[in-house]
Amino acid sequence: MTCDLCETPGGEVLLTDPAGRWRVVLVAGEPAYPGFCRVISTDHVREVTDLPPAERRGLLEAVLACEEAVREVVAPDKVNLASLGNVVPHVHWHVIPRWHDDPCFPAPIWAPPRREVAARAAPAELAGRLRAALLRRLG
């Protein structure tokens, strides 16, 4: 069986844990949600509790730092954090900026759109700004 998150980065890599336990990627192809990131465990496990306790803490620290970086850079109205794994059973967290006028708000972004809206303008140098914000938080 193949795993997309084992075989591909899963997006534009913004930061990798120096110990190689996780990576933060910027998700492409989501024009209504600029700054949509994933924090992906490098271990192919299905559940967060399959990781050793220290790796769990490091992964969750990266998720929270990613949320802070997204809030700083794109200033959303809300941030959704989701760890589903129903389609790709490999531990990863979605860090999703949300706006009251986005296509699906207040429903999840995977729900049918409630309204048609133009793509949201991404800040200039989005990836670089997110990377810098992550480095300030995670060193």
Quick: pLDDT tens for 68-105. Answer: 999 999 999 999 999 998 889 999 999 999 999 999 99
User: What is the DSSP code (8-state) at residue 3?
Assistant: -
Give yes or no for a contact between 111 and 60, defined as CB atoms under 8 angstroms apart.
Answer: no
Q: Which CATH architecture has domain 4-138?
A: 2-Layer Sandwich (3.30)
Tokens standing for 14? 């913004």
Sorted by where each begins, the domain ranges of the chain are 4-138
Distance of CA 93 to the CA centre of its chain: 6
What's the pLDDT at 139? 83
In the chain, the percentage of residues whose pLDDT exceeds 90 is 91
Q: How many residues does the chain have?
A: 139
Alpha-carbon gap, residue 14 to 129, rounded angstroms: 10
pLDDT tops 80 at residue 33:
yes
Residue 35, token pair as written in the block: 């700054």
Question: Residue 20 has what pLDDT?
Answer: 94
- Are the C-beta atoms of residues 49 and 59 closer than 8 Å to each other? no
Mean pLDDT of 115-124: 91
Check residue 124 and give its pLDDT.
92
Read off the pLDDT of residues 41-51 as tens digits, 9 standing for 90 and up.
999 999 999 99
* 1 has a pLDDT exceeding 80: no
